[in-house]
Amino acid sequence: MDDILLLDAVERYLRGEMSAEERTFLEEMRKKNPEIDQLVVEHTYFLNELDQFGSTKNFKHNLVEVETRLIEEGVISPAKLKGKAKVVYLWKRYRRIAAVAATIAGFVSLITAGVTSVYNNKQPNSEIELLNRKFTDLDKKVKEANNEIREVKGKIDPKFTLVSGGTGFLIDGQGYLITNNHVLKGKTIIATNDKGQQFYAEVCMRDDQRDIAVLKIADKDYVPVKILPYGISNSVNLAEPIYTVGFPKDDIVYNEGYMSSETGNKGDTLTYQIAIAADHGNSGGPVLNKNGDIIGILTKKAEGNGAVFAVKSRYIFNVMDALKKDTSYADIKLNTVNSIKNLDRVQQVKKVNNCVFLIKSYQ
């Protein structure tokens, strides 16, 4: 059978457009010829992937249309990003588009090569041409994404700089993060999770005395966490083992130690003193007890002796009570249930890592 006619027959077969006699004939050919059977299998997978890709694009398009209509009707407000902050944020977002574009291009190449290898005995150029027609729309999307990337990259102001950074962690799965106030010296905040996904975040409140700040991830790409693995607890004793995870570098880092004092620097009752390794980027990270409960927020080192301190977790409750007086944040709910206390340390850390973010502040 001519290769192009064979491919057309397979598509008619998969769409259910064949008569009973034609369908029976093709199924007999599949049983007798492994190459034809493989072609049907691979083409089925190929068409399913195209359908899934199309459905995803249509869904995203519909979301954009709904968002645009709601903005026009005044139901919601447009994004608040302006000036340089917007340019840098867009560039970070389009870097993800670049990855998707590269994935699509690789998918196109692999599928083309795979299908062609099955039936390239007579007219390979014809088969490739036929497949290329199916990828025309995909290629167009890739080119559009690459053009947008180049445009945004070309507008980035080289004077835009990182001014501070640290760690933050979720206190509410809807995207509320807590960190140190001193981590947020710039106007534009980007929160990055352990998978490398970047989200724009805005400051909800600051408490300079306790060195605490609350952020809200304001990004439509953020997927809320249904249940946080850890609870917020005041239960910790002197000499009890503790651990923390944070971002002293771009990769998440684990450290362990113990509670060394119930007060902080110069008898400060707002903080604990802990014996643990911690670098600058760990600021704002969670301090957890052996059960995986949050018992504090890692904060500054004392100058001179290198001691490390953590803001006591009870002040998280105080800050939340103050924040909830603003009706905009009335839905915040702290989690007090610990679902990881019976897990070993390795499994605890895996769960916690999903809720810990690298915080970068740009000026």
The answer to whether the CB of 189 falls within 8 A of the CB of 360 is: yes
The answer to whether the CB of 81 falls within 8 A of the CB of 199 is: no
What is the Cα gyration radius of the chain? 27
The answer to whether the CB of 152 falls within 8 A of the CB of 271 is: no
Cβ neighbours for 176, distance < 8 A, ≥ 6 positions apart: 170, 204, 214, 215, 216, 217, 329, 332
Q: How far apart are CA 343 and CA 241, in angstroms?
A: 16
Number of residues that make up the chain = 363
Encoded tokens for 138: 């995909």
Q: Please state, in angstroms and as integers, the Cα–Cα distance from residue 139 to each residue in 105, 106, 108, 111, 145, following that order.
A: 8, 11, 9, 14, 10
Q: Is the dihedral of CA 182, 186, 189, 193 positive or negative?
A: negative
Chain centroid offset of residue 344 CA: 25
Confidence (pLDDT) at 71: 66
Task: Report helix, strand or coil for 52.
Answer: helix
Cβ neighbours for 76, distance < 8 A, ≥ 6 positions apart: 67, 70
Amino acid identity of residue 357, one-letter, is F
Q: How many CB atoms are located within 10 Å of the residue 152 CB?
A: 20
Confidence (pLDDT) at 247: 95
- Total-model pTM: 0.61
**Ranges of the chain whose pLDDT falls below 70:** 1-4, 58, 61-62, 64-65, 67-139, 141-143, 145-160, 301-305
Confidence (pLDDT) at 73: 66
Confidence (pLDDT) at 155: 46
**Helix axis angle, 20-32 to 3-15, nearest 10°:** 120
